[in-house]
């Protein structure tokens, strides 16, 4: 039952990305291409998700704890350092090169396209290397 809940939550996420068109790299690159033919769709995807999370989160956080135990996240940090900015810049460059961020990349594994597997494999390699060199607690 627990297992099914996470499988279901993941399926909802993948479904949402597909409905939003974010599994198509062209839509993402269209958003990032400000000086060309601009496609603002991604901003609405983020806005819709963010607003839903904001409202839904208020309801959920009335509980003492999550249903499967553990605890809710603490107050967010506002501390900004070189690692945060540098890392985000590297991520942005990779994002702009292929139009893929981690969510759409994972969801697109459903296509059984070798290039998508290549992207995800390289991404995991990059993650493991970064954790090895700089520590995992990001």
For residues 104 and 17, what is the distance between their CA atoms, to the nearest angstrom?
A: 7
Spell out a b/e string for 44-61, using b for 16 or more CB atoms within 10 Å of the CB, else e: ebeeeeeeeeeeeeeeee
Q: Which two tokens stand for residue 89?
A: 């810049």
Asked if 1 touches other proteins (CB under 8 A), the answer is: no
For residues 132 and 82, what is the distance between their CA atoms, to the nearest angstrom?
A: 18
Residue with tokens 């990001």: 138
Least distance between other proteins and beta carbon 103 (Å): 4
Least distance between other proteins and beta carbon 117 (Å): 10
Least distance between other proteins and beta carbon 16 (Å): 3
Least distance between other proteins and beta carbon 50 (Å): 5
Asked if 20 touches other proteins (CB under 8 A), the answer is: yes
Q: Which of residues 31-60 bind other proteins (CB under 8 A)?
A: 32-42, 44-54, 56-57, 59-60
Q: Which of residues 92-111 bind other proteins (CB under 8 A)?
A: 92-103, 105-111
């Amino acid at each position: 039952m627990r297992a099914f809940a996470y499988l279901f939550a993941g399926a909802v996420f993948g479904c949402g990305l597909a409905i939003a068109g974010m599994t198509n790299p062209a839509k993402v690159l269209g958003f990032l291409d400000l000086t060309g033919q601009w496609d603002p769709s991604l901003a609405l995807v983020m806005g819709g998700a963010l607003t839903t999370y904001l409202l839904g989160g208020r309801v959920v956080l009335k509980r003492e704890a999550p249903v499967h135990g553990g605890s809710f996240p603490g107050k967010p940090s506002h501390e900004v350092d070189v690692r945060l900015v540098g890392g985000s810049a590297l991520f942005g460059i990779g994002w702009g090169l292929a139009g893929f961020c981690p969510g759409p990349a994972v969801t697109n594994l459903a296509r059984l396209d070798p290039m998508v597997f290549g992207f995800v494999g390289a991404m995991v390699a990059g993650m493991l290397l970064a954790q090895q060199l700089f520590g995992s607690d990001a």
